[in-house]
Amino acid sequence: MDYTCMCPRYYSAIDILGKKWTCLILRVLMSGPKRFKEIKEQIPEMSDRILTERMKELEQLDIVVRNVYPETPVRIEYQLTAKGRALKDVVQSIQQWAEAWT
């Protein structure tokens, strides 16, 4: 690989994944669909406002899908799309690196 110049696609990927909390949200969703409250419980340091922002961003990027179930009360769940699930190896690699080096 040529590391002497910045690939625009790599730059774009880092722009997405490098935002604070994004990789933690992805890690939580790797285990399956979750409600907002369930995501928040696993990342309690993150504010509701930031979680809402990140979920909207990930939806717009087609990494996460928001499913609304017309029940009483309405149930909303978030889950990874195929594009989001394709990040599984990336998330696992970060975990392995963290275990070895931090």
Write out pLDDT tens, residues 13-38.
Answer: 999 999 999 999 999 999 999 999 99
pTM for the model: 0.90
Q: Note the pLDDT of residue 99.
A: 95
State whether residue 66 is helix, strand or coil: strand
Residue 1 has pLDDT above 90, yes or no: no
Give the closest residue to 42 by CA, choosing from 88, 51, 20, 57. 51
Q: What is the pLDDT of residue 4?
A: 82
With tokens 């990789």, the residue in question is 23
Average pLDDT over residues 71-75: 92
